[in-house]
Amino acid sequence: MKQEARDLSMAGKTSGLYKRIGFIAAAVICAVLLVAWINGGEEPLHSISVPVEAPENVQ
């Protein structure tokens, strides 16, 4: 009987551990998404100017 009671108490602790790990993982994902949203990931457009030689006999 004591073994069954101990098994039940351990089941509650592991369930709480999984909930805590899930909460921490969700918080980390939200933090990463927030940083990505604030950063935007966009850079202003830069003009690309490279001299190109054109052929002499263009018709």
Q: Give the DSSP letter string of 7-58.
A: HHHHHHHHHHHHHHHHHHHHHHHHHHHHHHHHH-S-----------PPPS--
The pTM for the full model equals 0.50
Q: Supply the pLDDT for residue 52.
A: 85
Residue predicted with more confidence, 39 or 2: 39
pLDDT band with cut points at 50, 70 and 90 for residue 54 = confident
pLDDT tens-place string over residues 8-40: 555 567 788 999 999 999 999 999 999 988 888
